[in-house]
Amino acid sequence: MNAAACAPHLAQARRIVIKIGSALLVDSANAALRQQWLQSVCADIADLRAHGAEVIVVSSGAISLARHRLGLTSRRLRLDEKQAMASVGQIGLAQGWSAALADHGLVAAQLLLTPDDTENRERHLNARATLQTLLDLGCVPVINENDAIATSEIRFGDNDRLGARVAQMTGADCLVLLSDIDGLYTADPRQDPSARHIPVVEQMTDDIMAMGGEPPPGYSSGGMRTKLLAARIATRAGANMVIAAGQEHHPLHRLQNGGPCTWFLAQTDAGSARKRWIGGGLQPRGSLTIDAGACRALQEGASLLPAGVTGLEGTFGRGDLVAIRDSEGIIIGRGLIGYDSDESLKLIGHRSAEMEQLLGYRGRDALIHRDDLALDHP
């Protein structure tokens, strides 16, 4: 923890995940969207996009929106009632984001995820591929938890950590948590007037984690504790994270202009963190042998295409870890395979243009994408 440390700047980020809680998005008096505030956030997002950044939104609010409509505003909800509220409120939440982004020339895309969707390898790859395609098409993905079928995710309020997992999954370099507080303090400033604001956190130490408190009252199920857990996930994945106050209009613009906040510094760049995770600690389910041309291409930073693969061993599923061997059988790296062993066997030695004919569908061109690959000696 060092206030003099050099804080990042939002304008430097190229892929940004923005998490917005229900306490900011929903007017608690009538459980309706704060339309003018939402418009201001979408204007900020449009500005980030205009300056070259990709933006993903993780949005709470479905349950809060439905409470008023179904007359359940005055008491604590049972889990099954929360799931029902989510089913009703998700429609209005998606419509609100779609309309507000459209007013600024942007197309919204809705995804419903749970944290488990980012941890199961096959679902992780499916979700990541969908998000990448949406970003390539110029969309703004708006993600919420699949609260209608979730259990503990609703009960404990996990959208902070979901935001961190989305940042990790997509290789984002910045996670923004808009909150009702302008960052981390040494104690709860609402209870302790001597609490000091911490502008920069360089390491997620035990002392920092101990500063997490209980969730705030009202509809929001988050709190500083889940934000610190999110910071630990995001920074380990190579993303900077920032907690900033979001109540006022144009909160991202305020953050860019030096508004009060707390930055949590990435431990390393996202690519290196991911490659360390791939390269260490996991047992390969199989191996691919590649020719000299493919070896050179990988050393130059390319993905592994099927045409450069000469052999396959083992039985594995999509998303499993496989070893990569050169023509002499020496392991030169590891990667997460994009196809199962039966599909890979059909593809090896063939050009990417032949994949649809060989498989009956058109998937990704690479057997292993470069972001899913770690070489022993890059």
The model carries a pTM of 0.73
Task: Answer whether residue 1 is part of any domain.
Answer: no
Identify which of 73-77, 235-239, 307-311 has the greatest average pLDDT.
307-311
Cβ atoms of 145 and 153 within 8 Å: the answer is: yes
| Domain-terminating residue out of 226, 241, 267 | 267
The pLDDT assigned to 50 comes to 95
Let me know whether 344 and 262 are in one domain.
no
Task: Answer whether residue 242 is part of any domain.
Answer: yes
| Domain-terminating residue out of 244, 267, 290 | 267
Task: Answer whether residue 224 is part of any domain.
Answer: yes
Segment 119-171, tens digit of pLDDT: 666 788 889 899 999 999 999 999 998 877 766 544 435 688 889 989 988 98
At 182, the pLDDT band (50, 70, 90 cuts) reads: very high
**Could you give the number of structural domains in the chain?**
2
Let me know whether 296 and 262 are in one domain.
no
Both structure tokens of 196: 């000091």
Let me know whether 257 and 322 are in one domain.
no
Q: Averaged over 331-339, what is the pLDDT?
A: 93
Let me know whether 213 and 310 are in one domain.
no
CATH number, domain with residue 338: 2.30.130.10
Let me know whether 189 and 256 are in one domain.
yes
Domain containing 304 equals 275-375
At which residue do the structure tokens 């963190």 appear?
273
Let me know whether 231 and 188 are in one domain.
yes
Task: Answer whether residue 2 is part of any domain.
Answer: no
Let me know whether 176 and 260 are in one domain.
yes
Residue 115: phi and psi, rounded to 5, are -55, -35
CATH number, domain with residue 167: 3.40.1160.10
The pLDDT assigned to 276 comes to 64
| Domain-terminating residue out of 249, 267, 285 | 267
Both structure tokens of 258: 């030096």
Task: Answer whether residue 80 is part of any domain.
Answer: yes
Let me know whether 365 and 323 are in one domain.
yes
Task: Answer whether residue 122 is part of any domain.
Answer: yes
Residue 264 above 60 pLDDT? yes
Cβ atoms of 334 and 323 within 8 Å: the answer is: yes
